[in-house]
Amino acid sequence: MQNLEQTITIKNELEPTILQKEGVTAVEVGYADPDHPEKGYCIRIIVSNKQLTLADLGLPIQYQEVPLQIIGRKIELH
């Protein structure tokens, strides 16, 4: 399990590649399980289409021991 600083470093390494994928709107770091912070951190990939999966994006479920999660969230500009 990576600590927060390590997870941010890994996210920064992956972010340019992930953001080029169609449907991806953001990449962030969060708790792997918000109800159990002791389980560590994950990289959250924010997508506009809730149907997208990591496999659809050609991404593994884990990168350098950090889990990747898809979060479906529509971004609206005001």
- Whole-number pLDDT of residue 30: 96
Is the pLDDT score of 22 beyond 80? yes
Q: For residue 58, count CB atoms less than 10 angstroms from its CB and return exposed for 0-12, middle for 13-18, buried for 19 or more.
A: exposed
In the chain, the domains with their CATH numbers are 4-72 (3.30.300)
The pLDDT of residue 42 is above 80:
yes
**Phi and psi, residue 6, nearest 5°:** -65, -40
* pLDDT of 14: 95
